[in-house]
């Protein structure tokens, strides 16, 4: 039998569900993560594969809640290193308004289309970009997260949080 979800009856072999979209590899999801300088995750967001990186960047940044001993939890990072998928004037202005230094390389532009702003990259920020890729390699070390087998995004997101907790514990015990 199948399960009833959102007034739809999903069959056992059906590859659908929420937060699943079409990509080059077929039906899948995107994991957006903000990590600190040690590779410890600060914020997670799950979106469909067809969602552009910029649309998922704001919910990912807003998911950051780092508790402190006194006062409100910290809700924004000091600096952000992103890839070319986050190249946008509006996103750069948003980061500037929140006081977040950023290093986002400029997209390749066609020869006739020139940008009206100069994208600056900070070497000290972008030199730590490998830590994000290392975190994704750690996530893919959990077999259940390498390929999305869960139909429901709540279950998959729960496994993502569980893997992030295990990664944090491993970093603490080192």
| pTM reported for the whole predicted model | 0.73
Domain that holds residue 111: 16-173
Distance CA 63, CA 59 (A): 6
On whether residue 4 sits in a domain, the answer given is: no
pLDDT for the residue 166 = 93
Distance CA 4, CA 128 (A): 44
Name which residue leads in pLDDT, 109 or 44: 44
Task: List CB contacts of 38: < 8 A, sequence separation 6 or more.
Answer: 131, 171
On whether residue 8 sits in a domain, the answer given is: no
Distance CA 114, CA 125 (A): 25
Q: C-alpha angle with apex 59: 53 to 65, nearest 5 degrees?
A: 130
Indicate the number of domains in the chain. Answer: 1
Residue whose entry in the numeric block shows the structure tokens 């999903």: 10
**SS3 at position 83:** coil
To the nearest 10 degrees (0 to 180), the angle between helices 153-173 and 130-140 is 110
On whether residue 7 sits in a domain, the answer given is: no
In this prediction, residue 111 has a pLDDT band, given cuts at 50, 70 and 90, of low
Give the count of alpha carbons within 13 A of 172, CB side only.
7
Name which residue leads in pLDDT, 61 or 110: 61
Q: Domain of 81: which CATH number?
A: 3.30.420
Give CA 156 to chain center in angstroms.
14
């Amino acid at each position: 039998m199948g399960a009833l979800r959102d007034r739809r009856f999903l069959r056992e072999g059906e590859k659908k569900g929420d937060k699943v979209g079409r990509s080059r590899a077929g039906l899948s999801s995107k994991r957006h993560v903000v990590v600190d300088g040690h590779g410890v995750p600060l914020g997670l967001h799950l979106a469909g594969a067809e969602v552009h990186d910029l649309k998922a960047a704001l919910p990912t940044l807003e998911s950051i809640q780092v508790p402190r001993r006194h006062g409100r939890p910290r809700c924004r990072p000091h600096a952000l290193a992103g890839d070319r998928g986050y190249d946008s004037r509006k996103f750069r202005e948003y980061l500037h308004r929140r006081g977040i230094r950023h290093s986002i390389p400029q997209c390749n532009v066609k020869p006739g289309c020139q940008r009206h702003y100069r994208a600056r990259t900070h070497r000290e920020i972008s030199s730590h970009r490998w830590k994000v890729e290392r975190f994704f390699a750690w996530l893919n070390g959990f077999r259940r997260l390498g390929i999305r087998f869960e139909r429901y995004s709540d279950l998959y997101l729960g496994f993502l949080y569980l893997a992030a907790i295990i990664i944090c514990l491993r970093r603490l015990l080192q």
